[in-house]
Structure 1
Amino acid sequence: MKRTFLLLLLAICAGNLAAQTANDSIPKVDPKTKSALNAADQMVYQAAMRYNDLDIAKTKLYELMIRNPEDIRYMEALASLYFDASQFTSAALISLDLLELNDKNIGALEVAAYSLEQLGALDRALPQFESLYLLTGDNFSLYKSAFIQYNLKRYDEAMNSVNMLVKNAKPEEKIGFPKTQTETQEVSMKAAALNLKGLIYLDQNSKVEAKTAFNEAIALDPAFEQAKENLKKTN
């Protein structure tokens, strides 16, 4: 995982240098030829997607992206393709480039946040999730922020995020937790936040407060297996 993150950082640095000279090397074509080439590439891309030939689809997106640097749709589609294929390094690099162009691009923020998280680059994923929450008000992004803050041992920030969730979580909001190796269960966002609150207290050896938080989570969702297991750690 550390090697993957190092390669990501090196790629980011290399990308900054490449971007400075990319426009100079793009061959110039007249508008009519450019339009015809775009139409052909888009048709091939659509056919490749229809037949699940992702290598051809990516190739055509690269050609469209280089030929049309002003149109970010091709970069966005490429980032999504890499993300859906679990190629998180490529997905992260493209989405970070998109955010350089527009730091309020919701789709790019989502791809960047989840890709960086999958790569183990939690300190880089966190600001993406935080920005997502600020721009959208999405409580799941706030939960992800709180969970990463907890994993990074930034307990004060994590507790602030959790308290906001406990206050603002809507009854219909659910989040999945593993129940067994093959099963998951859905619990309310508020119960999940209280469970995380208990974990934060537990990490700080505040077992009385942790026990209260776990019990509150179980009161909301009596079948919440992880909260029940965590409660045992307070004895």
Structure 2
Amino acid sequence: MKRVLFMLLLVICASPIIAQTTDSIPRLDPKTRKVLNSQDQAAYQLGLRYADPIVAKTKLYELMVRNPEDLRYPELLAGLYFENNQYTSAALVAMDILSVNDKSVGALEIAAYSLEQVGALDRALPHFESLYLLTGDNFSLYKSGFIQYSLKRYDEAMNSANMLIKNAKAEEKIGFNTTEGVTQEISMKAAALNLKGMIYLDQGSKPEAKTAFEEAIQLDSNYELAKENLKKAQ
């Protein structure tokens, strides 16, 4: 894992903007370009149809080189890498897209979740924060808060948790794995209260932590994680 992170950081520091990679390639006349694009798009679709991601990715690379100004192709490539659990590649492509368009929600999502998957939490966090600012999505805010907590940025994490407690909608749910390996759907507000309790617990404030965990359980009486955390606060 450390080697993967080192390689990722190395490539990130040297990563060029997408359009710069094709500056030295002669441009085709529009008619030829259109024909080749149509052929490669058809081959890409066939690669997907026949579950051959290698062919699909190869055709996307050819389309990217031929159409450096068109972000559709790197967006598809980032998605393909992500779907195939190639998180380092997905993150690198997504961050190149963001260097051109920092408001691409799809690229922000892929960058955030991919960087989280490879353990680069400090790099994933700004993307989750940007997602929340752009979309108002409370799940992105929860992810931001949890990563802030994991990085011991407690003031920021507490602010995120309090925002969620205030703004979470009654119907919003988030999934947590139980000790039996079953996914338990919990209300976003209860999850935020549990997160708040965890922050207090880390800071040695057991009475405040206990109150937060108890409030979480009041909202979701079967909230297993909050019950386990409450025992730590006794």
Distance 1:229 1:207 in 2: 14
CA distance in 1, matches of 2:208, 2:231: 14
Counterpart position of 1:13: 13
CA–CA distance in structure 2, aligned partners of residues 138 and 18 of structure 1: 28
| Mapped partners of 1:180, 1:17: distance in 2 | 44
Q: What pairs with 1:144-223 in structure 2 (closer than 5 Å)?
A: 144-223=143-222
Task: Give the letter aligned to residue 187 of structure 1.
Answer: I
Name the counterpart of 1:98.
97
Whole-Å Cα distance in 2 between the matches of residues 128 and 37 of structure 1? 35
Q: Does 1:2 align with 2:6?
A: no
Q: Structure 1 residues 95, 130: closer, same or farther in 2, change over 3 A? A: same
Q: Percent identity?
A: 71
Q: How much is the aligned-residue C-alpha RMSD, in angstroms? A: 1.3
TM-score with structure 2 setting the length: 0.97
Number of residue pairs aligned between Structure 1 and Structure 2: 234
- What SS does the corresponding residue of 1:135 show, helix, strand or coil? helix
**Partner secondary structure for residue 170 of structure 2:** coil
SS in 2 for 1:96: helix
Between the aligned partners of 1:77 and 1:174, the Cα distance in structure 2 is 29
Q: 2 CA distance for matches of 1:26 and 1:75?
A: 18
Secondary structure at the aligned position of 2:23 is classed as helix
The residue matched to 1:177 in structure 2 has which SS? strand
* Partner Cα distance (1:17, 1:174) in 2: 37
Segment drifting more, 180-189 vs 158-167: 180-189
**1:229 Cα shift?**
0.4
Counterpart Cα distance in 2 of 1:40 and 1:118: 35
How far off its partner does 1:15 sit? 2.4
Q: Deviations over 1:34-54 (max 9, x none)?
A: 100000000011111011110
Q: Which residue of structure 2 lines up, in the alignment, with residue 38 of structure 1?
A: 37
Gaps of 5+ in 2: none
Structure 1 residue 18, shift from structure 2 partner: 8.9
Segments ≥4 residues shifted beyond 4 Å: 17-20
CA–CA separation in structure 1 for the residues paired with 2:117 and 2:92: 13
The alignment partner of 2:15 has SS state of helix
1:125 aligns with 2:124: yes
- Secondary structure of the structure 2 residue equivalent to 1:200: helix
Amino acid aligned to 1:121: A
Q: 1:179 to 1:206 in 2, by over 3 A?
A: same
Render the CA deviation track for 1:71-119: whole Å, top value 9, x for unaligned: 1000000000000111000000000000000111100000000000011
Name the counterpart of 2:58. Answer: 59
Measure, in 2, the Cα distance between the counterparts of 1:100 and 1:229. Answer: 43
Structure 1: which 5+ runs fail to align?
A: none
**Contact 2:18–2:97 (Cα < 8 Å) also in 1:** no
Q: Distance in 1 between matches of 2:22 and 2:86?
A: 26
Distance 1:70 1:24, change over 3 A: closer
Q: Partners of 2:6 and 2:114 in 1: how far apart?
A: 15
Local SS of the residue matching 1:16:
coil
Matched letter for residue 130 of structure 2: S
Give the Å deviation of 1:167: 0.2
Q: What is the one-letter code of the residue matched to 1:61?
A: L
Alpha-carbon deviation of 1:28? 2.5
Mapped partners of 1:140, 1:85: distance in 2: 23
Q: With structure 1 as the length reference, what TM-score do the two structures score?
A: 0.97
